[in-house]
Structure 1
Amino acid sequence: MAFTTTPGADGDHITYCRVCEALCGMVATVADGKIVKVRPDRDNPHSRGHICVKGPALAEVTYDPDRVTTPLKRVGGPGEFEPVGWDEALNDIAARLSASIDRHGSQSFAMNTGNPPSMGWPSSMGNYLFSRAMDCTKLFTPSSEDITSVVLATELIFGTHGFVFPDLAQCDHLLIFGSNPLVSHGSLLIAPRFKEDLVEIAERGRVIVVDPRRSETARKFEHVSIIPAGDVWLLGAMVQTVLAEGLADMDFVERHCTGFAELKAAIDWITPELAAPRCGIDADEIRTLARDFVAAPRAAAMGRIGICRASYSTLTNYFLHLLNVLGGKFHKPGGVGWGHGGTATEAQSTGPGHARHKRHSSRVSGQASVWGTQSSLTFLEEMTTPGEGQIRTLLTVGANPVLSMPGGPRLPEGFALLDMMVSVDLYMTETSRHAHYILPATTALEREDINQFFMNHMVRPFAQYVPAVVPPTGQARGEYEILRDLAARMGRDGAFGNMTPFEMADGALQAGIEGQDGLSLAKLKANPHGVMIERGRWAFDFEKRIGHPDGKIHLWDDIAGDEVARLRAEPDPDPNMLRLINLRKLRSINSWMHNVDKLVRSDSPALLINPVDAAARGIDDGMAVKISTQWGTIEVVAEVTDEVRQGCVAYPHGWGHRGGWQGANAQPGRNLNEITPSTPDQAEQVSGMSWLEGFPVEICAA
């Protein structure tokens, strides 16, 4: 079949989805200059014809009548805008940003970045280079609702931030904690056909899903039901079992690790008997899970967002790493390790004292920063607290913190104090309606791209370049172009250099371990469906990726020690307490695709509650109920189901729209962040991670 590479030309265009990390291959058909159909690319060697319902919906986002396609200037209160030309907008923004920074200092500027631009290479590079151009130290991202705790745990143990993930292709025994890959398609590991991988692992051995909810993945495989936020106790007891029963791979430990004796002494009290009532799993079953894991020759333990956002999320991920390392599963076929993709594999050492940790902590509460980003729970205090470094100017790029951040509904209090707020976005969202300017960005189908940003955590390394399918709608521009132009008008474009994002990507490809075999941008353009990287997953020396100055994996760390001491002082759980967890559905992705009717028409959010808990509160299926915490109360609809265990309730995030998108506004549901722990003292102090899984709630009939 012939394909065209000219944006907007009639015919079939090869592209790929940028809704989530799976990056599935797609073919978009254009007729009369408009996308009329999006289907899976069956010739893509990575996704092999797989896409989910969200990929084709990108075409509907592209042509959404509610989409912002011309620069808008606010002329009244929030949501009151009128069109303006690009030059007028950028000149005024540049002048007002510069004037405010001159008055209040470089620390008064902040950025908040999010989806969807984070899934694109030039967009991500634009955010990064603009933050450098502005000397921005107040960077807010979804990290503290997503990955901060696993990033910190990885830094403490390995001295680097490269993500560790399982070798699904060769694994025979997979433990899954707090992840639902049949819906998420994976995160921090890329495997478009995740379901097939899991089925094949189960046929060879076992797939065990540890979750408070009988999720879509748990239903398909072995389910171990756990008390919400009990994973820290389960994993701690599993590691203790490995140590107490002499099951650790001591040959690997002695050659590559330090801190074994300190670790063993520090956690000997976390016995399965102690952990059992705190995680809801029998002591014998805990020991069996640990023994079976170590005994399986090709085994891996993975976790994701469900264990990243509880009250001990860093320690939970720390224990998960230890289980893999001590169990002899690190950097081995079928086990876990880093990926190499097609780029260089040198360590990103943080040096002595974990230099990245707390580098830009809050000037107000002192809440920790990780990976250069501040905790979301410090956003409001940084805007409203006077003094040197108070945020006075703000740029948001594809971010909607009013819906996506804990305490988000209160952020407009801070927005009202700003000298200048600019939003680069697809829509007038609950956040961007408060901006002084909204600058229209392109959708994924309106820009060229390369999957460079994600290559290092692919189960099967793969590279692809795609041109834009159609030109930008209206006056929309790519985030990279917008931010480079704005930086130039401020005299700050030196950080962008003289290379395009694709020249940068090409340099990285050719300098990487695949470059010697000819991997380059030119090769990708000559192979539009993408190129599998043939070198094996383990074809590099992992010791070169260790970032600690001594070149060792650190099994013990003082920060981990403080967290273990905090865990030891934790009071016994209240058996009558209801704890809330988040859930995700296939048709939803955070908050930014709820204006697509095909996705939301059958995706009404509801509170899942166990029949026993419902009966005790006089709640029937379909009844309106109130969810209350010390931070607020929302009214939602209940769904009585044994899908969640007793003591657990579940509700999705990203709903409760009040922006400039009429379809989304008409949907039911409430903003979960109206009731989540929302002040800095409620975050995990060591990492700044938001507490979004397993926090206590009260439920009653409305």
Structure 2
Amino acid sequence: MSAHEAAQQRIGVCNLCEAICGLVLTIEDGTVTSVRGNPDDPLSRGHICPKGVAIADIHTDPDRLRRPVRRDRATGEFHEIGWTEAIELVSSGLAATINAHGRDALGIYLGNPNVHSLGSMTHGIGLVKALRTRNTFSATSVDQLPHQLLAHLMFGHQLLLPIPDIDRTTYFLVFGANPMASNGSLMTVPDFPTRLRELKRRGGHMVVFDPRRTETAKVATEHHFIRPGTDAWVLLAMLNVLFADGLALAPAYADGLAEVESAVAHFTPALAEQMSGVPAADIERVALELATAEGGVAYGRVGVSTHEFGSVCQWAVNLLNIVTGNLDSVGGAMFSSPAIDAVGTGLIGRGHHNAWQSRVRGLPETAGELPVSALREEITTPGAGQVRAMLTLSGNPVLSTPDGARLDEALAGLDFMAAVDIYVNETTRHADVILPPTGALERDHYDLIFQTFAVRNTARFTPAVFEKEPEARHDWQIYRDVALATIDKLDRKPSLKARLTLRARLGLSPTRLVGLLLARGRTGVTLRKLRANPSGVDLGPLRPNLLPDRLQTRDHRMGLAPPLVLADLERLTTVEPPAEGELLLIGRRHKQDNNSWMHNAGRLTRGRARHHLLMHPADLAERSLEDGAVVTVTSRVGKVRVEVAATDDMMPGVVSLPHGYGHARNPGMKRAAELPGVSINDLTDPERLDVSGNAALTGVPVTVSA
């Protein structure tokens, strides 16, 4: 039989970003030789981006850990050990800290990849809950906490997020989002470029507000530069216009419209122009166009979540959709009807806010997690409740959270640290033990979360492409073993009933749980049906008129005027316009990048370098700087040296560094010394926060000098 005849094709899935694209993999002699988009996938429709192609590179990456490793504290070197020894070391280290100093002496950080793994969603959360520490942190408070908090406050559940009905909208208003690079965020929209072309073909428009002429802004109907951190004034001014023109209405199941009208009365288009640089006439026109469009929708993402008024912005985005009649209607902001309803079934809790506060600064928790901006101080500040041990689950907060350089130093001083990760990264290099799970191609997958955020109702179960190696362990098996072994070593154990319940729950495989959850649903989708249709099952477009039944509030009513947000409007009135000559730093992401990892994948790092500081030519000239020069960028908390690139894609007064770079501090990555770039989070300030506790990573005041 020829090599060509021996080749097999397998259906796979890319779980590296929120687009969850379906894949077709060609496998020869146990090796992936080709990756392409699956044209039969009802959601991604054959789309694939460079990250999807590189999923095979992760599987064979020589930097990837395949066995547990233990760090020699004297030399910093890692050495492979067996699983029995590794679980014993981790459970003993965690239990010893809890027994000596209390449960809150353990800190836990969950990184973004957890939500992309079925096993992490079904068993990782169980591990975290079993350890019962209040010092739990995650990537949520890096860039999306305002969305979840406002969903909780207005709609009754932290994950009941309105999704733009992009396939039927005629007016797409975008603040601080770049779906051409991301394929959506908190909006699972694979193949956004084709969907945008379809929008334009039916006569629709996309209007973008962003301080950078992003990949999305370049293909928009129109783009408006806006000063970083001033989106709130523009969004509130749009609401002001709608009330002034009598165009703001509310459904019968909504309360608080009069309070909203009073609250936004001060925020005029003229004030918004002064703060943002966006002409008042454009603010008025766009607001009226949205209100009069047949099926319009407003959408804000990372750029409006990651500044000091992220919650006000997300509240205003929700209100724009509500008062224009575009919530829960075709072409507007709608709610999905997934086969496994994580919201309606209570699989994930409604959430809560300020049930307790962080020890040092008194920052509020949200849904059981504290703001990650408080993590460093909770490690370094002595006293009862000081974090003395850390467990990180697929995360790299040294590169992805504010003031990463000082967090890097703090982690080095812990009594004990363990990590579940496939890499020695800038954070896990401090771990005493690293437990590496199987890779994405070696485990079954079902998207519990991103089907909930998808622009079309679909369901898809993807069996593992490869069998795991005999000695390897899936993430869910690691979480099960660590949880049970740690609890057995605690001086104050949970009740016998609680331990037996935990053991039974963690003993079920994720695939078995998916089958049980599907059986509870009302769509008729079963695991058997999904196995018979590996490309996925199409459940149709988003459905209108789900409200008020879909609301998760106790009375099935929607509150338009959350007191927390109304109180924060007072803070807006104290902000002064930007000083003359001030530079504001923003981040950026590229479709070849995946947060702080995959920069060691050759096919994703080839071509023109993307690590530069972007700066407007006029700002360079004003400081006697030249394109391509090495410059020093300084903020209140730190400084970095990096090459600068001139571009008129930047708004004057704004500079941009990419997110997730800065690998030179990590000797564990073989190519670290070759990788250019610095970490933007050596400049971002943990003191700058939204009222939700989300980090204010954008609009950071900086100076740039030779």
User: TM-score under structure 1 normalisation?
Assistant: 0.93
Q: Is 1:600 paired with 2:605?
A: yes
Name the residue aligned to 1:306. Answer: 303
Which residue does 1:438 correspond to in 2? 434
Letter in 2 for 1:462: T
Q: Counterpart of 2:502 in structure 1: which amino acid?
A: A
Out of 478, 482, 499, which is 1:482 matched to? 478
The alpha carbon displacement at 1:313 in A equals 0.9
Does the 8 A contact of 1:78 with 1:435 survive in 2? Answer: no
Deviations 1:108-159 (A, max 9, x none): 2221111333211112222101012212322211111111112122222223
**Alignment-derived partner of residue 39 in structure 1:** 36
Q: How many aligned positions are there?
A: 681
Pair 86,10 (structure 1): closer, same or farther in 2 beyond 3 Å: farther
Candidates 149, 159, 168, aligned match of 1:170:
168
Alpha-carbon distance in 2 for matches of 1:622, 1:219: 24
Contact 1:350/1:548 (8 A) holds in 2: no
Match of 2:502 among 474, 480, 495: 495
Q: Does the 8 Å CA contact 1:591/1:655 hold for their aligned counterparts?
A: yes
The residue number in structure 2 matching 1:194 is 192
Q: Could you tell me which amino acid in structure 2 is paired with residue 696 of structure 1?
A: P
Q: Distance in 1 between matches of 2:151 and 2:329?
A: 18
1:12/1:136 CA distance change after superposition, 3 Å: farther
What is the distance in 1 between the residues matched to 2:578 and 2:314? Answer: 21
Is the 1:580–1:650 contact (alpha carbons within 8 Å) kept by the matching residues of 2?
A: yes
Corresponding residue of 2:645: 639
Distance in structure 2 (CA, Å) of the matches to 1:584 and 1:676: 16
Task: Kindly indicate whether the alpha-carbon contact (under 8 Å) linking 2:596 and 2:660 is maintained by their aligned counterparts in 1.
Answer: yes
Pick from 139, 143, 154: which aligns with 2:140? 143
CA distance in 2, matches of 1:34, 1:489: 36
Name the CA shift for 1:131/1:565 in 2 (closer, same or farther; >3 Å): same
1:612 to 598, 618, 627: 618
Using the TM superposition, give the Cα deviation of residue 598 of structure 1 relative to its aligned residue in structure 2, in angstroms. 1.1
Contact 2:328 2:544 (8 Å CA) reproduced: no
- The aligned counterpart of 2:183 is 185
Deviation at 1:77, TM superposition (A): 4.1
**Matched AA of 1:174:** F
Kept after mapping to 2: 8 A contact 1:350/1:356: no
Deviation at 1:413, TM superposition (A): 3.4
State the 1:316 CA deviation: 0.9
Shift of residue 493, structure 1, vs aligned partner: 7.2
- Determine the C-alpha separation between the residues in 2 that align with 1:355 and 1:40: 36
- The residue type equivalent to 1:278 in the other structure is M
Q: Which residue of 2 aligns with 1:3?
A: none
Shift of 1:605: 0.5
Does the residue aligned with 1:394 lie in a helix, a strand or coil? strand
Partner of 1:207: 206
Matched, 1:548 2:548: no
* 1:74 paired residue number: 71
Q: Say which of 51, 54, 58 aligns to 1:57.
A: 54
Residue 173 of structure 1: how far off its partner (Å): 0.6
* Pair 595,413 (structure 1): closer, same or farther in 2 beyond 3 Å: same
Give the Å deviation of 1:608: 0.8
Provide the rounded CA distance (Å) in 2 between the counterparts of 1:596 and 1:547.
43
Aligned to 1:5: none
The residue that corresponds to 1:696 in the other structure is 701
In structure 2, how many angstroms separate the alpha carbons of the residues matched to 1:96 and 1:265?
Answer: 55
| Stretch moving more, 610-619 or 448-457 | 448-457
Deviation for aligned residue 1:417: 3.7
Distance 1:28 1:349, change over 3 A: closer
Secondary structure of the residue aligned to 1:261 is: helix
Structure 1 distance, partners of 2:412, 2:669, is: 22
Partner AA of 2:186 in structure 1:
L
Q: Deviations over 1:437-470 (max 9, x none)?
A: 0111222111111122321111111111112112
- Unaligned runs of at least 5 residues, structure 2: 1-5, 489-498
- Whether the 8 Å contact between 1:170 and 1:333 is mirrored in structure 2 is yes
Task: Write the deviation string for residues 491-517 of structure 1: whole angstroms up to 9, x where unpaired.
Answer: 357425153222222222222231xxx
5 Å matches for 1:459-538? 459-472=455-468, 475-490=471-486, 491=488, 494-495=501-502, 497=505, 498-514=507-523, 518-534=524-540, 536-538=541-543
Q: Does 1:674 align with 2:682?
A: yes
Offset at residue 311 of structure 1 (A): 1.4
- CA RMSD, 1 decimal: 2.0
Counterpart amino acid of residue 662 in structure 1: K
Provide the rounded CA distance (Å) in 1 between the counterparts of 2:424 and 2:62.
12
Aligned runs of 1:269-348 on 2, under 5 Å? 269-344=266-341, 346=344
Per-residue deviation, residues 217-260 of structure 1 (Å, max 9, x unmatched): 1111121221112211110100111111111125x2xx121111
Aligned to 1:83: 80
- 1:626 paired with 2:603, answer no
Structure 2 distance, partners of 1:618, 1:495, is: 64
Q: What is the one-letter code of the residue matched to 1:247?
A: L
Q: Which amino acid aligns with 2:236?
A: G
CA distance in structure 2 between the aligned counterparts of 1:357 and 1:124, rounded to whole angstroms: 21
User: Partners in 1 of 2:108 and 2:348 — Cα distance?
Assistant: 23
Q: 2:65 corresponds to which letter in structure 1?
A: V
Match for residue 6 of structure 1?
none
Instruction: Please identify, of 170-179 and 488-497, the stretch whose mean Cα deviation from structure 2 is larger.
Output: 488-497
Asked whether 1:248 is paired with 2:248, we answer yes
Distance in 2 of aligned mates of 1:693 and 1:522: 46
Which of residues 13, 18, 30 is equivalent to 2:15?
A: 18
Deviation at 1:520, TM superposition (A): 1.0
Q: Cα distance, 1:473 vs. partner?
A: 5.7
C-alpha contact (below 8 Å) 2:402/2:682 kept by paired residues: yes
2:239 is the alignment partner of 1:232: no
Is the Cα contact below 8 Å between 2:397 and 2:404 reproduced in 1? yes
Q: Is the 8 A contact 1:113 1:127 kept in 2?
A: no
Contact 1:309–1:691 (CA under 8 A) maintained in structure 2: yes
1:400 to 375, 392, 396: 396
- 2:154 aligns with 157
Between 130-139 and 19-28, report the one with greater CA deviation. 130-139
1:217 alignment partner AA: T
Distance in 2, Cα, partners of 1:459 & 1:430: 35
The residue type paired with residue 245 of structure 2 is E
Given that 2:269 and 2:280 are in contact with CA atoms closer than 8 Å, whether structure 1 keeps it comes out as yes
Q: Write the distance in 2 (CA, Å) between the matches of 1:493 and 1:674.
A: 45
Residue 573 of structure 1 corresponds to: 578
Deviates more, 1:106-115 or 1:472-481: 472-481
Separation (CA, whole Å) in 2 of partners of 1:415 and 1:52: 35
Q: For residues 652 and 473 of structure 1, do their structure 2 counterparts lie closer, same or farther at Cα, with a shift above 3 Å needed?
A: farther
Identity of aligned residues (%): 36
Alignment CA distance shift 1:473-1:65 (3 Å)? farther
- Which has the higher mean CA deviation after the structures are superposed, 286-295 or 652-661? 652-661
Cα deviation, residue 629, structure 1: 0.9
Q: Which amino acid aligns with 1:610?
A: H
Note closer, same or farther for the CA distance 1:586–1:78 as it changes in structure 2 (3 Å cut): farther
C-alpha distance in 1, partners of 2:684/2:557? Answer: 39
Distance 1:355 1:152 in 2: 8
CA offsets, 1:310-367, max 9 Å, x none? Answer: 111110111111111111111000000221211345386999xx97112242111111
